Amino acid sequence: MVFIGALFPLLINTQEGVRNADKLLINVVRSFGASEWDIARLVVMPNALPFIIVGLRLAIGRAVLGVVVAEFFGSQEGLGVVMVRAASSFKVDVVFAGLIVFAALSLIMTGLVKLIEDRLSRWRPQHSNAE
CB 22 within 8 A of CB 43: yes
pLDDT at 112: 93
Task: Specify the 3-state DSSP secondary structure of 88.
Answer: helix
Using a cut of 0.75, tell me whether the model's pTM lies above it: yes
C-alpha 126/C-alpha 121 separation (Å) is: 10
Residues 32-83 have pLDDT tens digits of: 999 999 999 989 998 899 899 999 999 998 998 888 888 888 778 888 888 8
**Cβ distance 50 to 17 under 8 Å?**
yes
Q: Which residue has the higher pLDDT, 130 or 52?
A: 52
101 three-state secondary structure: helix
> For 12-27, how does the pLDDT look when each residue is reduced to its tens digit (9 = 90+)?
999 999 999 989 999 9
How many residues in total does the chain contain?
131
Tell me how far apart the alpha carbons of residues 8 and 59 are, in angstroms, rounded to a whole number: 8
